[in-house]
Amino acid sequence: MVVAESLADFQGLTRLFTFLLGKKVTGRRLGASSNAGFECVAFADNLRNFTLPTFSERTTQRLRAILERCPIDQIVDAHNPFDLTPMADDAAYEEAVLAVMEHESVDVGIVGCVPMTPPLNTLAHDERHHEDIDREDPVVQRLLRLNDKIARPWVAVVDAGILYDPMAARLEGAGIPTFRTADRGLRLFDIFCEVKTLSPPSAS
């Protein structure tokens, strides 16, 4: 049983437990990725009971190949949390998240997206720009597809203003727990993992 400390936490935790229903928490080894350096630092600074496993050579090679294509391999290393930088595009995002979440030592994941960057399609359709999150290729649609592939529990963070509310709503509407800041996401996700770790397997 979990007692939330505030109404906001109550709502956040209720969404976590319902959206991640059936997901098994096998440990607290966190795979983290973001396209913002500050958010990677925020992940590392708010780990609570999570740990950041070191990527294997195989995963590192997968991530380096993504960085080379961007190309940002000369300025970024492939480590956990994985910093995609604002130069990463939608396709690179999808590949990187999958590589991190498929790493053998990762139990759970957090995917940050600071969306106000030109290479990413993160805005709802509007006559003032050419972005549209409802097209097939934007990072939102890619994350929705990934959610079906990834068995491990993971949450998303969209740390941006109201222009990006539609993006966060699309992710939440598809069942991906989505927070607006990294520290809040990790705090509630840590509580979720604690409860799931202590709980017996569900009979339902």
Closer to another protein by CB, 26 or 117: give it: 26
**Least distance to another protein, CB of residue 37, Å:** 33
Question: Which C-beta is closer to another protein: that of 54 or that of 199?
Answer: 199
Measured from the CB of residue 196, what is the shortest distance to another protein in angstroms? 8
Residues whose CB falls within 8 Å of the CB of residue 131, separated by 6 or more in sequence, listed in order: 121, 122, 123, 124, 125, 138
* Residues with Cβ within 8 Å of residue 85, at least 6 apart in sequence: 35, 37, 70, 72, 75, 76
Query: Min. distance of Cβ 152 from another protein in angstroms?
Result: 18
Q: Could you say which DSSP state residue 200 is in? A: P
- Omega before 138 cis (within 30°)? no
Question: Which one-letter amino acid corresponds to residue 30?
Answer: L
Cis peptide before 71 (omega within 30 of 0): yes
Interface ranges with another protein (CB under 8 A): 1-7, 9-10, 13-14, 17-18, 21, 195, 198-204
Cβ nearer to another protein, comparing 18 with 49: 18
What is the C-alpha to C-alpha distance for residues 166 and 181, in angstroms, rounded to an integer? 16
Shortest distance in whole angstroms from residue 114 CB to another protein: 29
DSSP-derived 3-state class of residue 158 = strand
Beta carbon nearer to another protein, 7 or 162? 7
Of 19 and 164, CB closest to another protein: 19
To another protein, the closest distance from the beta carbon of 189 in angstroms equals 14
